[in-house]
Amino acid sequence: MKIDAVIFDMDGTLFQTDRILELSLDDAFERLRLNGLWEGKTPTSKYREIMGVPLPKVWETLLPCHSAEVRESVNEHFLERLIDNIQSGKGALYPHVKEVFTYLKEKQLKLFIASNGLPAYLESIVNHYGLDRWVDAAFSIEQVHSLNKSELVNMICDKYDVKRGAVVGDRLSDITAAKDNGLLAIGCRFDFSQEQELIQADAIIEDLMELVDLFLVVDDLNPSPACK
């Protein structure tokens, strides 16, 4: 049975988050500095290491000694700055996103986004770049109580009756979500990816256009049975 749906990660897979990450993070930590709640440089490199985890986990890691109230305030400001930077055109999609989406829709595949980003952030990217022309639905990790991407992907499979699909993403959470649900795991060797994570994928790409050729031979990759 051929692939009938593709579930894409957003950050570091479809959207070049790196273009707005440092700007937005600097703004958030500058606010902490002004309030006497942070000293030193913005921990951008640490954030890059954990990119792909839900935002609550991000702030627990970056601000381990701060209160839940401070983390929530920083999270809100960071989200505002991310959205402002998206809407002002400082971000960008990865090359060939729209071409690949057009090709996959012509093949009558269902397309979804499963993101660890918050709903407002995800919606701002989808709207700014008009991705809803191709994407059947976009889902935030906040739509599952566990904040677990495997559960989010399973929800998509159940809701849209995905029988044989693939998950395309750059981090281990994407690869794990695919394997936990019996889907093909396609790792993206992009900005935030890590080799020790990518080697667990069924296939690795360095450009989204490689998906075109990959899905032509996908039956030879022998993906596992469909979603649970």
Type of residue found at 39: E
> What mean pLDDT is predicted for residues 37-66?
90
Beta pairing partners, 166: 6, 184
Strands of the sheet with 137-140, listed across from one edge: 137-140, 110-115, 5-8, 165-169, 184-188, 203-205
In terms of pLDDT, which residue wins out, 169 or 50?
169
CA dihedral 165→155→102→198, nearest 10 degrees, is -60
Q: Write out the DSSP string of the chain.
A: ----EEEE--BTTTB-THHHHHHHHHHHHHHHHHTTS--SS--HHHHHHHBTB-HHHHHHHH-TTS-HHHHHHHHHHHHHHHHHHHHTT---BPTTHHHHHHHHHHTT-EEEEEESS-HHHHHHHHHHHTGGGT-SEEEEGGGSTT--HHHHHHHHHHHHT-SSEEEEESSHHHHHHHHHTT-EEEEE-STT--HHHHTTSSEEESSTTHHHHHHHSGGGG-PPP---
Q: Output the pLDDT for position 216.
A: 79
For residues 109 and 225, the model is more confident at 109
**Chain centroid, CA 221 distance in Å:** 24
pLDDT reported for residue 223: 47
The predicted-structure confidence for 118-166, as pLDDT tens digits, reads as follows 999 999 999 999 999 999 999 999 999 999 999 999 999 999 999 899 9
| Fold entry, domain 5-16+92-221 | Rossmann fold (3.40.50)
Residue range 178-218, pLDDT digits in tens: 999 999 999 999 999 999 999 999 999 999 999 999 987 66
Q: Can you give the residue ranges of every domain in the chain?
A: 5-16+92-221, 18-87
Looking at residue 182, its pLDDT comes to: 96
Does residue 13 have a pLDDT over 60? Answer: yes
